[in-house]
Amino acid sequence: MAGKIITSTIAPELPRKEHNPYHGVDLEFITIDTVCDHDLFLLQEGRYVLYRKRSLPFSMKDKQRLEQTRNKTIYVFCADEQELRRFYEANLPNIIENPNIPTEKKAQVLYECATGISHEIFSNPDNVETIGKSKVVVDNTMSLLAKGSDAFLQIISLSSHDYYTYTHSVNVMTFTVALLSALGIKDERVLKEAGMGALLHDIGKAKVPLEVLNKPGPLNDDEWTVMRKHPSFGFEMLSEAPVPERGRDIVIQHHEKINGVGYPYGLRGDAIPLISQVVSICDAYDAMTTNRVYQKAKKPFDAFKIITKEMYGHFNPKVIEQFIFLLNLKNKK
């Protein structure tokens, strides 16, 4: 099928918000004793007054001194939304570990940073350096998930209701890491590599023509042939990227099904590693529970009805059961 290759369609441009360059931040968010790389200001009598130049570290003494003057907010100068996200990104490990910041706020900052980085990755799918940033997303998500089930529920409550490849990828990564942990996988390295694979599972869609990717109706045979190549495209695209083998294997295996009806290889049962089985169900679940061009989002209970009935044989029953348990859907309809 003829079709030009379009590489930026899976990450449409983000909506522009009105941006005030002086962004108020609670002092707890600033990492102590590090150079914050942004000028810091205080708001005094309606004017922003420079407090600390970007080249100087922010110390515990600074924090205490400001707290004594009842100054709980400091203003960070960020010229645009992207720079603001970089500020949060740089302080993310501190934000997640800081016991004085509520889980809800941590989840919010994490989700915004994660979707921002994911957008960056899917906008530049051939840039190996950008792809390497998937590690930042996974590491910080794992740190927050390790704080308990409350953190998981907070993150998923924020997930986008509309389907975009870059938000879907963050959702699938979050579900994957949480579900693998619930299934007893405790090896951090395995979880991290699985998380990277989950985040990048659909990167190959960047090589699928726009008219196929966004077609509002069913695909014809030729279109399906191209669409079904995206796992192999992704595997190929990541050959030079800093992505571990386990992560790349997920990319090529995420449409395989336990009963052998999947693609590209039609693998069966245990021939599909557990981590790929997990990504596969998380992918299907998130795709069903978000709004698509051709269908409205399904309720979680209805999505599982399809997973267990119409898609019977596609997924590992033990994984399905644990997923239902993880989402706390046991007694809900």
Least Å from the CB of residue 19 to Fe ion: 34
**Smaller CB separation from Fe ion, 27 or 204:** 204
Residue 117 or 282: the one with the smaller Cβ distance to Fe ion is 282
Region of 2-10, 142-150, 188-196, 197-205 interacting with Fe ion (CB under 5 A):
197-205
Nearer to Fe ion, 23 or 201 (CB): 201
Whether the link from the prior residue into 21 is cis, omega within 30° of 0, is no
Q: Shortest approach of Fe ion to residue 182 CB, angstroms?
A: 23
In this structure, the strands spanning 73-77 and 40-44 are: antiparallel
Distance, first Cα to last Cα, the chain = 44
Could you identify the residue written with the tokens 């529970």?
289
**Minimum Å distance from CB 204 to Fe ion?**
8
Indicate the burial class of 270 (C-beta count within 10 angstroms; 0-12, 13-18, 19 or more): exposed
Q: Given the complex with Fe ion, which of 38 and 254 has the nearer CB atom?
A: 254
Quote the crossing angle between the two packed helices 188-199 and 134-145, to the nearest 10°. Answer: 130
Q: Return the sign of the alpha-carbon dihedral for residues 249, 251, 255, 261.
A: negative
**Residues 141-170 interacting with Fe ion (rule: CB under 5 A):** none
Q: Which stretch binds Fe ion (CB under 5 A): 21-29, 202-210, 232-240, 303-311?
A: 202-210
The H helix count followed by the E strand count for the chain is: 15, 6
Helix residue ranges per DSSP H, 200-326: 210-213, 221-227, 230-237, 245-253, 274-288, 300-305, 317-326
Give the binding-site size for Fe ion (rule: CB under 5 A): 1
Shortest distance, position 281 Cβ to Fe ion, whole Å: 13
Orientation of helix 245-253 relative to helix 230-237, angle to 10°:
160
Rounded Cα distance, 26 and 174, in Å: 26
Of 41 and 233, which has the nearer Cβ to Fe ion?
233
By CB under 5 A, which span of 59-67, 130-138, 164-172, 194-202 interacts with Fe ion? 194-202
Which residue, 30 or 252, has its beta carbon nearer to Fe ion?
252
Q: How far apart are CA 83 and CA 301, in angstroms?
A: 39
Least gap, CB of 249 to Fe ion (angstroms): 14
240: helix, coil or strand? Answer: helix
Q: Is residue 62 at the binding interface for Fe ion, with CB under 5 A as the rule?
A: no
Specify whether the CB–CB gap between 110 and 96 falls below 8 A: yes
Interface with Fe ion, residue 193, by CB under 5 A: no
Q: Minimum distance between the CB of residue 312 and Fe ion, rounded to whole angstroms?
A: 20
In the bound complex, what is the minimum distance in angstroms from residue 255's beta carbon to Fe ion?
6
CB of 230 to Fe ion, least distance (A): 6
- Comparing every residue's Cβ against Fe ion, the nearest one is 202
Cβ proximity to Fe ion: between 30 and 203 the closer is 203
Q: Which is nearer to Fe ion, 42 or 226 (CB)?
A: 226
Tell me whether residue 193 or residue 202 sits nearer to Fe ion (CB atom).
202
Torsion of Cα atoms, 106 then 111 then 113 then 116, to 10°: -170
Query: Strand, coil or helix: what is 121?
Result: helix
Candidates 62, 193, 202, 286; binder of Fe ion (CB under 5 A) is 202
Q: Which residues bind Fe ion (CB under 5 A)?
A: 202
